[in-house]
Structures are given as structure tokens and as C-alpha cells.
Amino acid sequence: MIQRKPLRAIALLVLLAGLAYPLVSIYGIYPAFRHRLVADIEEEATRTARHLSGTMAGEMLGFSDEAIRSWGERNAPSAQKNFQILELRILNAEGRVVYSSDSVQVGERIDKSYFHEIVQRGHPFSHLIGSDSAIPRLKRLPADVVETYVPIMKDGIFLGAFGIYYDVSERKSAMDRIAHYGTVIPILLTCIFLGLIFTILYRLERASELQESMKEKLRQEQERYERLLDNLHSEYFVYSVKPGAGMTYVSPSVQEMLGLEVEQFMSTGYEPLLTDNPVNDEARRRMAGSLAGMTQLPYEIEIRDGEGMLRILEIHEVPVLNEHDDCVSVEGVAHDVTEQRRTGAELREQEYQLAEKHEALTILFGQVETAKKEWERTMDCLEDMIFLVNSEGIIRRCNRAVMIYTGRLYDESVGMELAAFMQREGLPPQILELSGREIFHERENRWLFVRSFPYLNPHTGGGEGFVLVLQDVSEIRKNRKALEDEAAQASLSRERIASVIGQITDLTNWASRELDAREMD
């Protein structure tokens, strides 16, 4: 949107001027064309009617309805053909159709106000009838017809009227085309010019806004620069050096920064303040290069200020050249970076210490990772199923024996609740409460011995979780049953042997008694 009042006024005037032509064309020029067409047809019809009136007056003795009808039947067809009349009617003084080239219309009465108020008073009347006419009898006519009524007068007395209809479709179409092209083309050109003018006005508005914005930014930058100079008196000072003439300008901040008067520093420059630090040798070479007109990268110098304190200054110098590329001055900015360099050294020392700690932690983490992998490999070598469960009952780890026993992947078990895992595998959900007992796994037809061990958090001393061990004791139970059966069988054998030994002992005793008895005999 155009916001500025002058440009907005220009845009409004241009818009009004652009709208004026289409409105004039639509409501002025085009209706004038139509009026001119009707007026021309009316003039033509008037001439035709006057000619026919003269012929009628010469042939007719009276102006009765019968005489009119008779004259029309004799002369109207030829007149209609000669004057290219679409339809011809003759009306009596009462406005009734006495003759019509269309016999259907004979006897109709014209009751229109224009007939009584205009035609019967001796004035012709014409109007254009379009294709949208609501009069039933006119719907059969061509698209555009001019209906004209010309009065028949004698000695100022109204005797009747001719009703003449001309087909003006072609002339009206041609007129419409001319009016259309004469209206549309200028409107299009007007729209194009309006678009160009509005585009120019919009760009002027944008350029004006950009100019105002740049002025505001420049003002803000100026204020910021001034604030910067006010806030950095203790860290920066600027100076100008002219080749062969020494320093020509030093900002007053040099006094706050180095404790030296402006005149004193301008008269001596840096040279008396430089220390024996080798960095100053490179600085002297850079200063000479700047005075020779060569652009230098920022460099540092080490000096002693007015109080004898060591300071490190970062120097930025830009040579100013004339049209012959000769250096006319060097503009410089000195920045006190003493505190930054000291802080940087401390940071580097801290970084070195942190790097050492990081290396030690990396070694420690590597050892922990190695121990973790060794624990996992050790656990995977065991045939017992081992679960590491946290205090919330979630499985955190499990060994390879679990995957072999259940036939499931590692990720399908880790992260599940222990109770849900046990229920899925057909084992008691509250298995931690069965520690020290044997349970029978019906689905696998195996006996498992349950053991659980709580483990503590080494930092808090509180419970961290449980280690659950499920040992397959099916073979042990089978071996135990075999041993029990063998023990029972051995016990039975011992009983049988004892019985036989008893019987043998009884027989031996009996035989001994028998022998003793025989010896006595």
C-alpha cells in the first residue's frame, strides 16, 4: 500500500482518470451511438412516410379505413421492397391498424402513451427494439429492429400514421463492434498505463521507505558508534600517522588507556614504549609497510604504559592512498588485549588440564567398557539363564542362555517387565518370590531351580535391582531319581542277603547241633 500522502494523492487522481474513460464510454459514447442510429433510421422512415403520404394523397379521395386498406394492398408491397422495409403498417386516427404487411396485426389498437402524446400531435417517434423484447408479436422479428411511427397530417389535422419497421441488426452489430473496440482497447491501454503508473508509484514508495530506513539505520549506527566510543575509552584509541611527519591525531582515550597525555604520545609515538620482546621487531616491519602504502594484517606490540605496566596492543592499520597510489596517511586503531591474552593463557592451561582429565576418563571408560564386555562374554558362557532386573521389575540384560532356551532375540526380551516375560514363557510371574525352590516348566517339560540375589547401588547404598538365575536341573533330578532307585534296590538286596545269611546261620546252627548230638551218641 502507498502510505505517503503526495504519492497517495497522485495515485488517486490517476485512478479517477483511468475510471473516467470507461464510464464515459459506457454511459455516454455508446448510448450516443445508439441514439444516432435510431435518429438516422427515424429520418429515413420520415422521408419514406412523406413520400408514401404524397402518393396516398394523390390516389385517395377520402381517408376511410377501406380506402387506406385498398391503397396499402396496392402500393405497400412495392414500397416495402423498394425502401427495404421489414414491416409496414398504416394506422387510422384512432390508432387502430387498418393495414399491415403482416395480416395478423390488422385490427390491433396502439394504446402506448408515446402514440397519443407524441405521434397524434404530429411528431414522429422511433425506438430500438432488441432481441430481449417482451412483446410477443416482436419475438418473431430479427434480433434488432427500429420501430418508427410517422404521423399523416393534413392542414394540421392528424389523419393516421405509418408504422415502419427497419431491420438494423447488421448496422447495430457493426456499431456495437466499433463501440466495443473503441471502448475495450482504450480501457486495456488505460489499465496498462494505470498498472505502470501504480508500479512506478509503488517503487517510489518503496524507494522512499528504503531511504527513510537507511537514514534511520545510519542514525542508529551513528548513535551506536558514539556509545561504543564512550564505553571503550579504556580499551581503544585511534590515531593518524602522516609519512615523514609522524602522528597527526590521537584520540583522547589514549590518556585513560595508557596514562599518557595526547601531546606526549603524538610527539614520541610507540617507539619509546616498546619492550625488548621479539614480537616488536615484526611490529616495526609492519609499521613501515603501512607507511609505504601496503595493507597489513592486524599485529601485536608489547609496550610499557605511563605507570610502567606491561601492555599488549592489537594494531589495525589502513593506509590512505591518493590518486597516484601514494600513501598520504595511515589510519590506525589500537586495542588493549592484555587481559584477553592473560585470560587466554589461563584458558589454555585449563584446557590442557581438562584434556589430561578427559584422557584419564577415556581410559577409565575404556576399562569399564572392556570389563562390561568381559562380563557379558562370561555370562554368555554359562548354561544357566541369568537376568539383570532393575528395581522397577524391568529386564535390563540377559545372557545368551535365555535366547537359546526361549528361542527369541535379545531385543525381544530386554526392556520387558519380568512378570510379563515369565507369563509369556509359561512361568510364574512372581518368580522372584520363589528363590531357593524348584519349579516345573510344563511347556518345556523341564525343572528349573530359582535363585535371586539383590544388588545395591554403590553410591546410595539402596537397592538397585536383582540378579535372577534359572538353573536347568532336569538332568540332576533325573540322575537323583536313578540314584534313589538304585539305593532302594540295594537296600532290598541287602535285606534279601541278610535273610539268606540268617537262613544259612540257622542251618549251620542246626547242623552243628546235629553233629554234636551224633557225637554224643
Tens place of pLDDT per residue across the chain (521 aa): 555 666 566 766 766 766 666 666 666 666 776 666 667 766 776 777 777 777 676 666 567 888 888 888 888 888 878 887 888 888 888 888 888 888 788 888 888 888 888 888 888 888 877 655 545 454 455 567 888 888 888 888 888 888 888 877 777 777 777 767 767 777 777 778 777 777 787 787 788 888 888 888 888 877 776 666 566 666 788 888 888 888 888 888 888 888 888 888 888 887 888 898 998 888 889 888 888 888 888 989 998 888 888 888 899 989 998 888 889 899 988 888 888 888 888 888 888 888 888 888 778 777 767 767 777 777 888 888 999 999 889 998 898 889 888 888 888 889 999 999 999 989 999 988 888 898 999 888 889 999 988 877 666 666 678 899 998 888 888 877 777 777 677 677 667 766 766 676 667 767 767 776 776 65
Residue 394, C-alpha cell as written in the block: 524391568
Per-residue pLDDT at 139: 47
**Beta strands 385-390; 157-167: pairing state:** unpaired
Cα pseudo-dihedral 106, 112, 113, 116, rounded to 10 = 0
Q: What's the rounded Cα separation, in Å, for the pair 254 and 234?
A: 8
**Beta strands 87-92; 97-100: pairing state:** antiparallel
Q: What's the rounded Cα separation, in Å, for the pair 38 and 127?
A: 6
Q: Which of 262, 251, 258 is nearest to 229 (CA)?
A: 251
If 0-12 CB within 10 Å is exposed, 13-18 middle and 19+ buried, where does residue 149 land?
buried
Q: How many Cα atoms sit within 13 Å of 131 on the Cβ side?
A: 6
Per-residue pLDDT at 143: 62
* Cα 61 from chain centre: 94
Q: What's the rounded Cα separation, in Å, for the pair 221 and 500?
A: 125
Per-residue pLDDT at 449: 92
Q: What's the rounded Cα separation, in Å, for the pair 34 and 26?
A: 12
CA angle, residues 301, 305, 307, in degrees to nearest 5:
155
Q: SS3 for 37-62, per residue?
A: HHHHHHHHHHHHHHHHHHHHHHHCCC
Q: What's the rounded Cα separation, in Å, for the pair 233 and 518?
A: 148
How much is the pTM?
0.34
Q: What's the rounded Cα separation, in Å, for the pair 88 and 167?
A: 12
Q: What's the rounded Cα separation, in Å, for the pair 448 and 16?
A: 99
Task: Please tell me the chain's helix, strand, coil percentages from 3-state DSSP, rounded to the nearest 5.
Answer: 55, 20, 20
CB atoms within 10 A of CB 302: 19
Residue 328, C-alpha cell as written in the block: 598520504
Per-residue pLDDT at 421: 93
- The SS3 of residue 270 is coil
**For cell 540268617, what's the residue?**
502
